[in-house]
Amino acid sequence: MPAAPDFPPAPDRVKPVRALISLSDKAGLEDAARTLSRLGVELVSTGGTKSAIEKLGLPVKDVADLTGFPEMMDGRVKTLHPVVHGGLLGVRNAPTHAEAMTTHGIGAIDIVWIDLYPFESTVEAGGGFEAAIENIDIGGPAMIRSGSKNHGHVAVAVDAESIGLILQALKADGSTDLALRKRLAARAFARTAAYDAAVSGWFAGQIEDAAPARKSIAGSLAQTLRYGENPHQTGAFYRTGERRPGVAYAQQVQGKELGYNNIADADAAYELVAEFEQPAVVIVKHANPCGV
């Protein structure tokens, strides 16, 4: 296990100088790019995102201009480079890191905004094996994890809400604070964990492995509940990406918002009635069948 280096404390405020942006979904790009550019932040990007920023008439640097290495292998290799990851992982106020960055011409990257290749939606739409494989992002998760590990100096955005929080902070005083960067890092690690869980779950299904040696399950928040099974407990409802028939993706047609016990009972009733091939009715109370 690597020993923890004796780094100086991370600064509370970081005024960004450079942002790396790579998006599959370009929604919100124009506002963010214009705001960052107006605040004097250098924009760095690749492929379609770089082209989209150029069409806005904003200056943007290609990652290849930083690395001195062209995008290759059908886009599979473009950001996996020490100049990129050194810019994300370098501890700016650690003398040895600062010396290495200077020696090797590595510029700091203070903001990274990446939303990952659309693997989950590709699979959900019925994409074939090769399409799914090509939509497994490699460089994106690597950059997200590098920036998040170094959240003492880097703000990481993985969705519209994350970049919105960064822009809000920059509009207020031109910097991000440590508490925000830490929150964003936690959100980013959760996103890459869910992404990898989706990939590993799909792959297990492709080889028909019903009991893999390791199984990861990840969900996205669907609803914050008033409380859990009892009033003194916290409750929340998460959905996985499987979209199998059931309560998680059912449409509520009337009545007030469901609570924890309502959802649990509805799920138990659905799963039991689904066991019958003929029409059936199930009555459930506290997850126990009272009548079938």
Q: Which amino acid is at 291?
A: G
**β-sheet bridge partners, residue 239:** 220
**Angle, in degrees to the nearest 10, between helices 178-206 and 139-149:** 150
Task: Based on the residue annotation, tell me whether 97 is a catalytic residue of this protein.
Answer: no
Q: Rounded distance, CA 71 to CA 121, Å? A: 25
Which member of 104, 171, 285, 286 is catalytic?
A: 286
Hey, what long-range contacts does 97-105 have (CB within 8 A, 24 or more apart)?
Answer: none
Which member of 15, 81, 149, 182 is catalytic?
A: 149
Task: Based on the residue annotation, tell me whether 153 is a catalytic residue of this protein.
Answer: no
Instruction: Give the three-class secondary structure for 106.
Output: coil
**β-sheet bridge partners, residue 97:** none
Collect all residues with Cβ–Cβ distance below 8 Å to 110 and sequence separation of at least 6. Answer: 14, 15, 16, 17, 18, 19, 41, 153, 154, 155
Q: Rounded distance, CA 226 to CA 106, Å? A: 49
Which residues are part of the catalytic machinery?
149, 286
